[in-house]
Structure 1
Amino acid sequence: MIKLPAELRSLIKKRQHAAGRRQSGLESTSKSAETPAPPAEVGIQLEFRDSLDPLIALGLKITSREGNFAGGIIAIDNLEALAAHPNIVRIEKPPREKKRLDKSIP
């Protein structure tokens, strides 16, 4: 079972690619100036079993919890290790916030 959705796997690859470009000295090219760097951390929602303590030890910062579901922030570099932990059932990226404006206001 794949515990990470495609969007999070893509962020990991972009972060690894950007790190490789920095190490090889290619970051100063014009393309890197056009492409924003991937974020260092990402917000996630997860379903877990047993305890959150080992997940917190992997760098997860809990922002909310309800039963066996939690929301939090983690460094993208630690995301694969978190997904591989046996306490993780699944990880999701939170839905994007939508503007909820009252359309009756002129």
Structure 2
Amino acid sequence: MLKLYGLSNCDRCRRAHRRLEAGDQKVEMIDLRRLADRGELEETLQHLLSRVDWSTLLNRRSTTWRGLSDGERDNLDHARATALFKTYPSLIQRPVLDTGAQILVGKAVDDWAA
């Protein structure tokens, strides 16, 4: 089963979920904010960051990113980015698709088929 990580109110995530299901794929949609609220985001982040570089997961175009202070945005490394992801799950580029064999980040569903 595919796992699609994102936000339930994100249009791109909902569109990706619908497209994957329309293609007869079994997809589990996982809301990153809900994981954070339940204290389960850290395990998911460890899994994703073991297979994808933190800079790939970081959404530098988000309103959350633009709202951070210069101090929070400067001198990012793996540890600081991980801490930001835990505090602000909306900083994670989305959607994130875990196929089991690979992690696809922030791409259009049409690109995933390739």
Name the TM-score, length of structure 1 as normaliser.
0.29
Name the TM-score, length of structure 2 as normaliser.
0.28
Rg comparison, structure with higher value? 1
